[in-house]
Each structure stands twice: as C-alpha cells, then as structure tokens.
Homo-oligomer: A and B are copies of this chain.
Amino acid sequence: MASRPSTRVVADLPLTPPTGMRDHLPEAARVRASLASRLLGLFQRYGYERVMTPAFEYADVLERGLELDRRDVLRFVEPETGEVALLRPDITPQIARIVATRLSDRPAPWRLCYHGTMLRRRRGRARKSRALSQAGVECVGFGGLGADLEVIGLAAEACALVGLPGVRVELGQVGLGRLLLAEVPEAARAPVAEALASKDAHALEARLREAKVPARQRRRVLGLVDLYGERPVLGRARRRYKDAESRAALDELARVWDGLAERGLEPQLGVDLGELRGHAYYTGVSFALLAEGPGEPLGGGGRYDRLLGRFGRPAPATGFGLDVGHVLWALEAAGRPWRPSRPLRLAELGAPAELVAGLRDAGVEVAALPESVGDRALGFARAWGYDGVLGAGELRRASDGKRRALEDGVGGVLALRDWLAEAHAPKGAKG
C-alpha cells in the first residue's frame, strides 16, 4: 500500500550485494553479454539448442544428479510446499531432468546448450559463495568416441574463437583412479584424492599408511602420482595397470587423445590420471581447460553416462561448461581483452528530433540530455564513454571538444565516425 516507510538510517548495513554476488556495471555487462552470446552462437552452429532452466530446484530433484556435500550448496525451504530447494550449483542435472521428462519423446541425440548463473560455495576455510556465469553444452544419447571428440573439440574451438587459441586441454579418466580408490577405506578417499591431485607422493603415502592400506594396493595408488604430462604417460600407465578394466579405461583415453591429435589439437593436450576430484558424475574421459589468469580452470567437462538413468531415462552423455568470468580474466591476462564492437554513441542536446530518430534507426546509440546539463554535456559524454555530443547543427568530439558543422542528416553524422574516433588514436591525440 501507499504508506511511506519510516526513514531508515542509511549507514546501518553496507549497501553491497551478498557475499560472492556481483553487480556488472555498464561496460562490464556489455562485455560479458557479448562474450556469452558469441559462445552460444558457436554452440548453436553445432546444433546445440538453447534451453533455460530455473535458478533454483527442489533439492530432491537436483540431488539425484549431484552428489552434493550439503555444505556446498545454498539451501532454503520453499514456502509453498515446505520442500527444501537449492540455488543451482550446476545446470547439467537440470538438463538431464529436461531430457528425461519433457524432451524424452524426441529422437537421440539431444544437443542442448545454456547460459546462466549458478551458485557455488567453495571449499576451504572461508567456504565462500560465488555466483558464476556459465555457458555450456550437453550432448545426450550419443555415446562413444564421436561425441567425446565433438565436445572436447568444441570446447577448444570456443576458447580459440574468443581469443584463447592456445588453451591447454588436460584430459583425465576417472575410471582408472576410481578403481584404485575403491581399494582405499571410504573415509580416507578425500584426503588421498587431495594428495594425488597435488602430486605429493610423500603426503600420499602418509595418507595411505594412516588408512592402513596394504602394501600392494598402496603401490597401485602411488603409481598414479606421476601419471601426468604428455602422450607417453598413457604408455607408462598401460605398463603399470594391466587388468582388463584399467586397460579399457586407458584405451578409451588413448583413442580420444589420438582423435584430437588428428584434428590438430595435440600441441594443446595434456593428461593427468591423478585428478579425481570435481564433479562426481563423470564416468569416462573428462577434461579441464587451463589458461593463465584466473588460477582455476576456465571450464571443463566430460562423459557422464550414468546421470540420465538417475532421472529414469538411461542414456550416454557428455558435455562441458565455460566460466564466462574466468574466460574474460584469461583474455585480460593474455593481453587480448574482450572488446565487443560497439556502435557509435552520442549524447544529444538540442538536435532535431527527426535526426535523432534517424540515427537510432541506423543503430547509433543516442542519449538525450536534459537542457539543464548545458555546458556539462562534454563532461557527461566523457564520463559515460560517448563519442560525441550532438547539438543543434553541430557535432562535438568527446575526446577533445572539437566541433564540426552538421549537414546531410543521418548520413552526415555517420560520415563523421572516423573523425570522432581519430582523437582516440595515438596519432590524433598528438595532433
């Protein structure tokens, strides 16, 4: 209702978004939207169709697809039903739900893509939440090598398309490590996986001894600790693990490596058989995309052939997701910040309405200033990144305030585009 609230003391709470949440201001939001749109465009050209899923789901539904540590997600009680809901930490289980329910009558393969925000709570002492914006694909009902190659190749192509052609694609195969971890008592598996991932043979041996793992099994797990690097790692692993299941897992990985090499990706490839952390739903070859900058993978993915079955419709599946913020960070670090092409932008004060309308129709961004701005129009244009100020009969360049008389309507303004940009360039700045 229309009553006024009591006046509040403004300083009683910092006016910030919740921990881990971020606002994206004008320039940053434009950059982010443009990058995501470029990625989705690529995914769509491979036949991945966009879907949109809710920001939260019933915990009972999402937890079919995620083996979640309850501390890792943000949970709350949904007031209508009293059911526990959670802000999605991952979109893949939602896609699995959609394929298994509303799209189950369509023929395989299902190729779906998405872009959305999810909330992860990071492990570690602080266990901070972080909202991340992820763009990714899921390829369901298409088993085997072909789909693995398509999805990993597409991930590398996506990075190259936006300016990271050298991104490292580090392949993993959870199959092998899981067989070995199964020989470790359950309570010790997490610390063992941590020690393995950090390639710390000393710590790994200590963890295994603490867990009273017998010598033979200990040696088998310890054997994983140096299995990272290039293609020869796969040969070493093959000589070390000769049982049929390990062989099958390693052969699958070798076929993926060779298929990617055939596509010219070998210079970017790496392998790490000791990386067993991360999404628990992977069942086969997985991969992480690495580049300088964010200090975490840009994204990753892999095969998850058992997830769909948990939603009642078994099907092989593979996919990947890219953290849009991390990709932007890596582009900055590589000296190739993402700069979407942007239209001409003009502040306007006193220009004819018809000219303004014509410019907007031509795609120019024109912000009308109130008369009260007066002499401060140039300052406004500079502060907000406008190229110039359009007045009655003249155009002023934002960078240096120089004027040009206007003739020929819309065409005349568009013809001044280069002149407007000139003073931004080093040469113009000197002149």
Contacts and interface: CB of A to CB of B under 8 A. Distances in A.
Interface of A: 1-5, 8, 10, 12-13, 15-26, 29-30, 32-33, 44-47, 49-58, 60-61, 64, 67, 74, 76-81, 83, 85, 87, 94, 97-98, 100-103, 106-109, 111-112, 117, 121, 127-129, 131, 142-144, 146-147, 150, 174, 177-178, 181, 186, 189-190, 193, 276-277, 280, 306, 310-312, 343, 345, 347, 360, 363-371, 373, 376, 379-380, 383-384
Contacts of A15: 61, 97, 100-101, 311-312
B22 A49 contact: no
A10 B50 contact: no
B32 A280 contact: no
Contacts of A142: 370
Contact of A85 (B18, B23, B190): B18
21 contacts: A1-B277, A1-B280, A2-B280, A5-B310, A15-B100, A17-B53, A18-B80, A18-B83, A19-B78, A19-B81, A20-B80, A22-B54, A25-B98, A47-B366, A47-B368, A55-B117, A80-B127, A107-B373, A107-B383, A109-B367, A142-B370
A146 B29 CA distance: 27
B2 A30 contact: no
Contacts of A2: 174, 177-178, 181, 189, 193, 276, 280
Give the number of times this chain occurs in the complex, counting copies. Answer: 2
A18 B81 contact: yes
A308 to B, nearest CB: 11
A26 B50 contact: yes
A109 B370 contact: yes
Contacts of A147: 370
A325 B55 CA distance: 17
Given A47-B345, A80-B128, 14 more contacts: A1-B67, A1-B280, A2-B177, A2-B189, A3-B280, A8-B64, A13-B60, A15-B311, A15-B312, A18-B81, A45-B363, A107-B384, A108-B373, A144-B370
